[in-house]
Structure 1
Amino acid sequence: MTVPAKTIATIVVDVNMPQQPFNGIIEGGIYITKQLDDKIKEQGGMQNRFSYVIGCVIRENDQQVQPKIVAKTIKTKTQLYRPNVIWKMSAPNQINISDVTVDGDITDLQNKKQIMSRHETQRQIAPTSNFNLVFKGDNDLKSGRYLAKVVMKDKQGHIWRFSQHFTVGTPVKTQMVKRWTMKWWYWLLIILLIIITYKLYQHFKQKKQILRHEKKS
């Protein structure tokens, strides 16, 4: 579609609706971008390209849908050199859950000690989506039994409380960042190379001066 400069155009977008009726909302967006000029592209010129997305919410009826959050599996892995506990969650209903506050912790059941925690505010959860709650640790996660707990609240006053036991078989180690360090003999070698290079430079410089003097004589 071509839109002349400084004008407004109306476009019609066809949307394929689900075959089955639904309650709640479906979220999406209309992506708009400028088409590049092929002639300028062939000539190797530079072009500015702007694009934007218009959000779109589709509702089939006015029936209210209650928000729902479901706790799923827990797994552990090392990310960014640190042991993490990743708790998978889902929001199966077709409704936005806005301004969610998250408070959770991980407890080591061997010594009844809290080893990880997470606090988050103003989290947005999309309809029919999966998301992760990630608990980041500072120390190795040893083999044993653990308990994960979390409380989630939205701005409408809905509260979700979850607790789940999980077992760590193979310890999850904290990976140290390897830093490259130069040993003393590296420095000695560099210093020797600098001295040798300087001596050679002086030698050739003196030799060049002697040749010039002999030519003048």
Structure 2
Amino acid sequence: MVKVKTNSIVKLCLSIVLCICFLQIPHVNADNVSNNVAEFTISPVYPREQKEDDAGYFDLNVKKSTTVPVKVKISNLNKNQDIEYLIKVGNATTNDNGTINYTNFKNKKDTTAKYQLTDFISKTDSKQKITVKAGSSSEVTVNLKVPKQKFPGTIAGGVYVERLTNSYTNEKNGMNTRNHFSMTLPVILTEQAKAKRIAKMELDKVMVKNGPEVIAKLHNVKPVMFGKLSIDSKITKKNHVKTLIHKNVNNYQVAPNSSFNFLASDSSNQLGAGKYTIDMHLQSGKRKWHLVKDFTITAKQGVPLTKRTGWLGISMVMWIVILILVIIIVGLVVVIVRQKQNLKTKNK
């Protein structure tokens, strides 16, 4: 009787493992690739405030109470058609993947920033349209009005140029799709020959999304732009030393007075409800920061026990059931053996 039960349990375990293996077969998604040609180029026309003539972007050393003309040359490479372009100015922000976006038009002004690039530009200059004749070039001017009050460090943004003519194409399925042909020239401003390079990174807060996904909001609170930032983060149970999740990234770039979300743990990690600590070491050259913060994962946000996987990819609950069954079986075997021994003793 015991032997029959044991064989049944073994078959059940093998069936579970096979089902899980089939469920975890990955699938591949195909993305459409477009090879459209923009048919235009942009280049900077440097003002006298430019630090280096061959920088390829605007790197300006400005003075207070002055107006600096930032000119962009747009060349229409289409020899048969006049093309209209949209020109906008945006501020520099840090993307969550550790790159700098030089033309952000939506984010609110960072609370630690004294100025941002769009503070120096009139509404008329911040958004313009121009038509460039076929096979020719035209210049667009954006006037930067530097305030009377000095600003510290660096201010960054960019001039964004988008082709408007023929920017729409009709697909076969009847949907109207827009092709964005655009280019950007970064604009960097300082009022000192050598801007201060003292940076300061802070860990504003830790956010948890259902899954759970643990997100650390990192904040550069100084008007300093820097790169080659490495981030080494570890998540542990609160007041414990064992590392549950470890993530390391390199070569991040950070815009002045900006924040970004660092994904320290995604939904593939099996974190349940409880109190945790995130410990982060950041380094950019000689700059180093050590940031630590406690956070809580609620029962709703964490991975429930029924969905947590253990050894061989089998859920923790199933392993608990198997363990209980093994204990029961061992107990039955012990009882049967003892009964047999007692019978032998009585027969003697």
TM-score where L is the length of structure 2 = 0.42
Change (3 A) 1:33 1:165: closer
* Structure 1: segments with no counterpart, 5+ residues: 38-45, 177-217
Compared with structure 1, are the counterparts of its residues 174 and 49 closer, same or farther at alpha carbon in structure 2 (3 Å cutoff)? closer
1:141 aligns with 2:268: no
CA contact (8 A) 2:160 2:182 kept: yes
* Alignment partner of 1:105 is 2:234: yes
Offset at 1:49?
6.8
Partner Cα distance (1:35, 1:169) in 2: 48
Alpha-carbon distance between aligned partners in 1 of 2:136 and 2:295, rounded to the nearest angstrom: 61
User: Deviations along 1:24-46, whole A, 9 cap, x unmatched?
Assistant: 11111112233427xxxxxxxx9
- Deviation for aligned residue 1:75: 2.3
CA RMSD, aligned part only?
Answer: 3.1
- Number of equivalent positions: 166
Conserved 8 A contact 1:36-1:47: no
Alignment deviations for residues 141-184 of structure 1 (CA, whole Å, 9 cap, x no partner)? 2223x221111111x321111122233344523387xxxxxxxx
Q: Check the 8 A contact 1:33/1:49 in 2, yes or no.
A: yes
Please state how far the C-alpha of 1:6 moved relative to its aligned partner: 3.9
One-letter code of the match for 2:196?
Answer: Q
2:246 aligned partner: 117
Structure 1 residue 65 displacement after superposition: 3.2
The percentage of counterpart residues that share the same residue type is 22
My pick for the range that moved more, 115-124 or 8-17, is 8-17
- Of the two, which has the highest radius of gyration? 1
Q: Contact 2:225–2:255 at 8 Å: present in 1 too?
A: yes
- State the AA in 1 paired with 2:143: D
Which of 5-14 and 98-107 deviates more?
Answer: 5-14
> Which structure 2 residue ranges, 5 or more long, are not aligned?
1-129, 167-176, 308-348
What is the CA–CA distance in structure 2 between the aligned matches of 1:47 and 1:74, rounded to whole Å? 37
1:61-210 aligned at under 5 Å gives the runs 61-62=192-193, 63-78=195-210, 82-109=211-238, 112-136=241-265, 138-144=269-275, 146-154=276-284, 156-170=285-299, 172-174=301-303
Q: Secondary structure at the match of 2:273?
A: coil
> Which one of 164, 186, 194 corresponds to residue 55 of structure 1?
186
Deviations 1:36-95 (A, max 9, x none): 27xxxxxxxx998732111111112234231110111122112xxx31221211101111
- 1:163 & 1:47 partners in 2: Cα distance? 44
Q: For residues 295 and 181 of structure 2, what CA distance do their matches in structure 1 show?
A: 48
- The CA distance in 2 between the partners of 1:48 and 1:128, in whole Å, is 32
Aligned 8 A contact 1:140 1:174 in 2 = yes
